[in-house]
Chains A and B, each alone.
Chain A
């Protein structure tokens, strides 16, 4: 029977001589080995139960994200389609002026790319770092149909003077190496000048650092607001008798179960200039009919809607911790002469910290990556970094830039996730 080896407790048999001899199982094997074997088997069984899902998540989630991140430092849009000029760049020092060999290589590559119809792709890649380059490449491509005659420099300059731009050659040199950190530089508003030195981009074009700051600042603000709003009601829910608190809990859980788009839509409707909130304010006489507030399509809209949407994620962990707090500690403090404020501050509040930490981290993690709500109610001042990633994915098609921004965002989320696991434990994540 396999069961004998499986369950050593049932089959322990000491040898007749007893003292000093090793313990063995009923069929004479050393007990220690039998135990180790059965434990190994149990570990394997547990692992095989998890394996299908682990493989599924690795294939459909972890590897795709890894693949996407690879684009943030690998882009062969130039080097693959322009092999000869890339080889020339590889064989010369940075800062070398293009000689006739370089011009010949460029002309050959451009002709080949124009025939293979990849010249637009090449132009797009250069355009990431030098605006206007795409039209230079495509217009040159159109005039290249018959091939070029040497001297190539003059021939290309005749088609378009733009080829003589040292910045263009510097950008092409950067792009000729498929592995590059330039997208990360761009993601922190840095760029390379003609000599390859790193410097800040023009002040009017600095967007990303500001967007990261705004994302973190708004997430922090929203976390603070959910704490201010969530703490009192979590406390009320935790101290009311179970019957009443279950009823009130529905008011927290219903928004939690309601579609995100529905909640965002209701805020769009409520906060409009001709919407219910403005109507009520006018009716109450707080503001005049001609002073209706602009509360949507700006940061205010993003803050209000996201606070509402994320509030349940703060209330639920706070509530589950507050339920376990023994009220006699506060009573003891009061009986020893503490005022109700002191008793709250010194006795009650410190005991809620685990729930507060869990809720705050969860809200912050979710807020940092929010996309839908800012996209719909944020206008231009309420956009977050996620919206910039989406823009690069869908409209500018600078996928490497999107990947670099995504990598920075992901890194910060993973640090917070690690912190959450250390402080709270993923096992303690509760829903509803």
Chain B
């Protein structure tokens, strides 16, 4: 934004002040995320820059917190080579949590993306009945406070058949609480709004005459979907899937309410770590997660540009 040539000195001063204020706000946004990265290499168990760190003395930095992440929960942290890594893979708490987070996130994303994309296709058709009301219901898991969702899920997943008992059926079914399936379904529910929002946004710019053209050339609806529609909306679908995955990967309240210790995920492990005794090891996890989110952000940004390009929308 350039100043117009007719600006008065006062306006110029105000303009530069405005730029400084904006700089400070950007600093407020980004500083808390950046500052934990060097702090995670602290050689001392403090949450501040030690004199050694401030003078850039190599002794002030160490990887000890990353090492403690890896060895936490291992049976024999002093072993070497192959034995060390297989022990870490099998027993280290954070690795177990990471495995759980990835498994739960993957399946929750799968459910949310498949169901969400289908529904978004239906919702984008002009002839969809009760569009507004249905859309409001499908988006509501994002709006309803998580604690309320988690509480409702706690009762439902503890006894999923209670509902059928009310209408007179007496089926046998176990608990969903404390199972992987339960957590996956809960996370899928929470991820669905993001898939709906991103895919319907992509479909707004979708030219329906392409589908008609495919049909007029003899393609069946299935072939039309996979060969024409899908490639065009794929960037939106992937972006939605990434949103759903991040939602699951970052979710802690539902996990606290319905998961058993076997389904320990990274956020829950962090939650426990923060509540009990916060140590710089938490900062090491946080640093790894920040790097992960930078990778995700880059992917989404690239997808968005690709989507705009193939739909012929150029950024103005």
Q: Mark A248-284, 1 if CB is under 8 A from B, else 0.
A: 1011111101111111111111101011100100000
Would you call B134 and A61 a contact (CB within 8 A)?
no
Would you call B151 and A270 a contact (CB within 8 A)?
no
For chain B, residues 225 to 262, give those with C-beta under 8 angstroms from any C-beta of chain A. Answer: 239, 243, 246, 249-250, 252-253, 257
* A37 vs B78: C-alpha distance when bound (angstroms): 75
Would you call A47 and B252 a contact (CB within 8 A)?
no
Q: Does B214 contact A (CB under 8 A)?
A: no
Closest chain-A Cβ to B127's Cβ sits at a distance in Å of: 4
Known: A46-B122, A54-B138, A258-B290. A61 touches B151 (CB 8 A): no
* A248 vs B267: C-alpha distance when bound (angstroms): 29
For chain A, residues 274 to 316, give those with C-beta under 8 angstroms from any C-beta of chain B. Answer: 274-276, 279, 308, 311-312
What are the residues of chain A within 8 A of B274 when measuring CB–CB? Answer: 261, 264-265, 268, 376
* Residue in chain B with minimal CB distance to A388: B147
* A386 vs B116: C-alpha distance when bound (angstroms): 29
Known: A266-B36, A365-B143. A61 touches B189 (CB 8 A): yes
What are the residues of chain A within 8 A of B134 when measuring CB–CB? Answer: 50, 54
The stretch among B61-69, B83-91, B190-198 that forms the contact with chain A is B190-198
Would you call A266 and B28 a contact (CB within 8 A)?
no
Interface size class of B (residues with CB under 8 A): 35 or more
* A260 vs B198: C-alpha distance when bound (angstroms): 21
Would you call A372 and B293 a contact (CB within 8 A)?
no
What are the residues of chain A within 8 A of B243 when measuring CB–CB? Answer: 431
* A349 vs B197: C-alpha distance when bound (angstroms): 28
Known: A229-B28, A268-B278. A371 touches B147 (CB 8 A): yes
Known: A257-B297, A393-B154. A410 touches B148 (CB 8 A): yes
Would you call A259 and B289 a contact (CB within 8 A)?
yes
What are the residues of chain B within 8 A of A372 when measuring CB–CB? Answer: 146, 252-253, 271
The stretch among A27-35, A99-107, A199-207, A232-240 that forms the contact with chain B is A232-240
The stretch among A117-125, A352-360, A401-409 that forms the contact with chain B is A401-409
* A52 vs B284: C-alpha distance when bound (angstroms): 41
Q: Does A21 contact B (CB under 8 A)?
A: no
Q: Mark A18-48, 1 if CB is under 8 A from B, else 0.
A: 0000000000000000000001001101111
* A176 vs B274: C-alpha distance when bound (angstroms): 43
Would you call B252 and A49 a contact (CB within 8 A)?
no
Closest chain-A Cβ to B9's Cβ sits at a distance in Å of: 13
What are the residues of chain A within 8 A of B283 when measuring CB–CB? Answer: 265, 269
Would you call B115 and A259 a contact (CB within 8 A)?
no
Interface size class of A (residues with CB under 8 A): 35 or more
Closest chain-A Cβ to B210's Cβ sits at a distance in Å of: 16
Q: Helix, strand, loop or mixed for chain B's interface?
A: helix
For chain B, residues 125 to 149, give those with C-beta under 8 angstroms from any C-beta of chain A. Answer: 125, 127-129, 132, 134-141, 143-149
* A57 vs B111: C-alpha distance when bound (angstroms): 12
* A257 vs B299: C-alpha distance when bound (angstroms): 12
* A272 vs B39: C-alpha distance when bound (angstroms): 14
Q: Does A90 contact B (CB under 8 A)?
A: no
What are the residues of chain B within 8 A of A53 when measuring CB–CB? Answer: 115-116, 118-119, 138, 192
Known: A53-B118, A263-B33. A42 touches B125 (CB 8 A): yes
Selected from B47, B128, B151, B163, the residue in CB contact (under 8 A) with A274 is B47
What are the residues of chain B within 8 A of A376 when measuring CB–CB? Answer: 274-275
What are the residues of chain A within 8 A of B289 when measuring CB–CB? Answer: 258-259, 262
* A231 vs B119: C-alpha distance when bound (angstroms): 35
Q: Does A85 contact B (CB under 8 A)?
A: no
Q: Does A389 contact B (CB under 8 A)?
A: yes
What are the residues of chain A within 8 A of B144 when measuring CB–CB? Answer: 65, 369, 410, 413
Closest chain-A Cβ to B316's Cβ sits at a distance in Å of: 7
Q: Mark B28-67, 1 if CB is under 8 A from A, else 0.
A: 1110110110010000001111000000000000000000
Selected from A49, A260, A371, A409, the residue in CB contact (under 8 A) with B118 is A49
Q: Does B186 contact A (CB under 8 A)?
A: yes
Would you call A276 and B48 a contact (CB within 8 A)?
yes
The stretch among A132-140, A186-194, A421-429 that forms the contact with chain B is A421-429
For chain B, residues 259 to 316, give those with C-beta under 8 angstroms from any C-beta of chain A. Answer: 267, 270-271, 274-275, 278, 282-283, 286, 289-290, 293-294, 296-297, 300-301, 304, 315-316
* Residue in chain A with minimal CB distance to B193: A429
Seen from chain B, the residues whose Cβ lies within 8 Å of a Cβ on chain A are: 1, 4, 6-7, 11, 14, 18-19, 21-22, 25-26, 28-30, 32-33, 35-36, 39, 46-49, 111, 115-116, 118-119, 121-123, 125, 127-129, 132, 134-141, 143-149, 151-157, 162-163, 185-186, 188-189, 192, 194, 197-198, 200-201, 239, 243, 246, 249-250, 252-253, 257, 267, 270-271, 274-275, 278, 282-283, 286, 289-290, 293-294, 296-297, 300-301, 304, 315-316
Q: Which 7 A-B pairs have the closest CB atoms?
A: A369-B145, A49-B122, A64-B156, A64-B152, A53-B119, A50-B122, A65-B152
- CB pairs A–B below 8 angstroms (12 shown): A53-B118, A57-B192, A60-B153, A66-B152, A67-B163, A262-B286, A266-B32, A269-B278, A276-B48, A409-B145, A413-B143, A431-B243
Seen from chain A, the residues whose Cβ lies within 8 Å of a Cβ on chain B are: 39, 42-43, 45-50, 52-54, 56-58, 60-68, 71, 229, 232-233, 236, 239-240, 242, 246, 248, 250-255, 257-270, 272, 274-276, 279, 308, 311-312, 323, 331, 334, 340, 365, 368-372, 376, 386, 389-390, 393, 399, 402-403, 406, 409-410, 413, 417, 421, 426-427, 429-432
